[in-house]
Amino acid sequence: MQDLERLEQQMRSSEAAVRLRAALAVAGASPEGYATYTAALARPVAAPLNILRALLHAIWAQYPNPDYPKGPGKDPPMWMVRPEPPWVPPPRQPGQPRPQRPPPHDPEAVDWLTALAELDLSADELTRGLEPQAAAAARAEALLRVALMRAIARAGQRGQRDAVYPLFEQAFVAEGVFRDECGRAIRSMGIQAVPALVRIHHDQQRRSAKMRRYAGYQLDRMDLMRPSQALRNATDDVTRAEILRAYGEVRALDAVELVLAHLDAPSHRVRREARWAWMRYVDGPPPPPSPRRKRKLPGGLEEKEEREDYLNYREMATLAIQRALRELTGREPDPARTARQLTDELLAFYDQRREARFRQVFEEARARERAGDLAGAVDAFGWILANQPDHPRRAEMASAFVALGRKLAEEGEERDDEAQVARALGLLRQGLMLDPSQPAAHRVQGLVHYLDGRQAQRRGGDGLVDFQQALAADPGLHRAQRALEAARLRRAGPSLGWLIALVALGLLGPLAWLLGRRVGRRAPRRTEELARPCADPDAAASGSV
């Protein structure tokens, strides 16, 4: 918050470069400060509206017309746009083409952040007559709000899906003067903004129908208004599941077929959320009846009986699931059964078909494991777990993961292949997770700790703690015992070496002194003996002393 206050003060600077640098710092801030940004954006607008509108027109931006729509027979513009200045064509030169009128300013192409930061209040006729301090304060406030919107939208792009709501609220404060920039910030989130916009668009409890229309307008601008198009643009299963949940929460009529089509989705997450959403359509209290009226017939006649204007979500879901059962089973469903009963029948059909497929793949995987094809068995078991993580026979899959992990670990240790050892660790951990109570669980756990220690040594550590944990889990793991002793020696090696060196230096110093002293005493005596004349000439001639 202190950094935000400091940057806000810099946005009041008289230098355009300082203002722009501070605004860009806020707009590119870390998503971790999302709560701080939303709290700052939620503060009431302090600048007068007439000054804010003058600033926006000065940068050739637009804001919504507060008088639209005023009443029947009125046709005011939806957006207030600055009129283009009169254009006087230059004199035509002989032999030259006629001068063309310059293109009009496009409010959608204005970069509010840069334009507001670089706006010279004394250079434009719309802001020249404003009180300088009030205009500078309004410019700083507008610049801060635009920067905060972009920071919040950036957090939304990184997975903060609630970011749509603070941005959406800003589109309706101060008579919507920041609405154009709010829309751009929401659309910059792309597919991440769809769940929140769907909830707002279908929320009949909203205090204003303008909000519902505005949410639908943003979905339409992104070409994500149709549920099928929105789900087609989802990039991952998490986003698909969130979109399906949003449609289920609001019971969108146009999403009935889409939700029904994902009741048997391959992804466990998507399938779970689709089934939750579908239960919102077929279960619970009945929806309110739709309005009834007599329809007009050709020739000015009317129908004799009143009919509903439209089908409610429960009726549409019933028709859709009857059609799905008819196509899957080849027989006509019982019309007396409720939508919930038909749903139970459909889900049971899907589950039985999936279980039959799982049984087939499971038996194939067990056969591969018995034949020694551990990689093929693990791949098949992995496919089952990806589609049904809580498979009832998941404990029986653990042996294949552990066996393949042991094999890859031995090969990786021989070749010193860190990537293969890392894959082996993943397989061993998954084997423990699938069956924590397997008979050799302590040995697998010890091997995992041992391999963790070896990986730590490859990255520059000593792995001492990992080897200790490996022996605690499996005292018979001799590799871990040898690695632990080597790690202890390496850790104690430098200090022991220095100690030996110091002791050696301490002993060699006095010894060298004593030897030098002894040699110094004996050297003169030897010299005197050599200089003394020999008494026996024959002995001297023979070389004896």
Give the separation between CA 166 and CA 186, rounded to whole angstroms. Answer: 10
* Domain ranges, ordered by start, for the chain: 2-82+105-225, 353-485
CA pair distance 430, 359, nearest whole angstrom:
21
Give the single-character DSSP code of 311.
-
The per-residue pLDDT for 120 is 93
Q: What is residue 535's predicted lDDT score, i.e. its pLDDT? A: 44
pLDDT band at 72 (very low <50, low <70, confident <90, very high): low
For residues 385 and 394, the answer to whether their CB atoms sit within 8 Å is: yes
Average pLDDT over residues 404-419: 89
Q: Give dist(CA 416, CA 451) in Å, integer.
A: 12
Neighbours of 235 (CB within 10 A): 10
Which amino acid is residue 203, in one-letter code?
Answer: D
Q: What is the pLDDT of residue 352?
A: 92
Architecture in CATH of 353-485: Alpha Horseshoe (1.25)
pLDDT tier for residue 501 given thresholds of 50, 70 and 90: very low
Using DSSP's 3-state secondary structure scheme, residue 432 falls into helix
Q: Using the 8-state DSSP alphabet, how is residue 208 labeled?
A: -
Question: What is the Cα–Cα distance from 432 to 399, expressed in whole angstroms?
Answer: 9
**Lowest-confidence region among 366-370, 481-485, 540-544:** 540-544
Q: What is the pLDDT of residues 177-236, one digit of tens each?
A: 999 999 999 999 999 999 999 999 998 775 578 899 999 999 999 999 999 999 999 989
First to last CA, the chain: 101
Q: CA 190 → CA 164, 216, 236, 543, distances in Å?
A: 11, 14, 13, 110
Distance in angstroms (rounded) separating the CA atoms of residues 364 and 384? 12
Q: In this predicted structure, which of 48-57, 438-447, 529-538 has the lowest mean pLDDT? A: 529-538
Q: What DSSP element (H or E) covers 166?
A: helix 164-170
Q: Spell out the SS3 assignment of 517-533.
A: HHHHHHHHHHHHHHHCC
- On the question of pLDDT at 427 being above 80, the answer is yes
How far apart, in whole angstroms, are the C-alpha atoms of residue 310 and residue 436? 55
Annotate 458-483 with b (16+ C-beta within 10 A) or e (fewer): eeeebbbebbbbbbebbeebebbeeb
Cα 198 to the center of its chain, rounded Å: 21
Can you say whether residue 160 is alpha, beta or left, with left for phi > 0 and alpha for psi between -120 and 50 degrees? beta
Q: How far apart are CA 380 and CA 376, in angstroms?
A: 6
pLDDT at 515: 56
> Which CA distances in Å does 172 have to 123, 179, 208?
30, 7, 10
Question: pLDDT > 70: what percent of the chain?
Answer: 89
> Could you give the CA distance from residue 139 to residue 41 in angstroms, rounded to a whole number?
15
Average pLDDT of the chain is 86
Token pair of 79, please? 């957006």
3-state secondary structure of 326: helix
Mean pLDDT for 401-428 is 90
Q: Two tokens at 96?
A: 């030259």
Q: The whole model's pTM is what?
A: 0.76
How many whole angstroms separate alpha carbon 501 and alpha carbon 519?
26
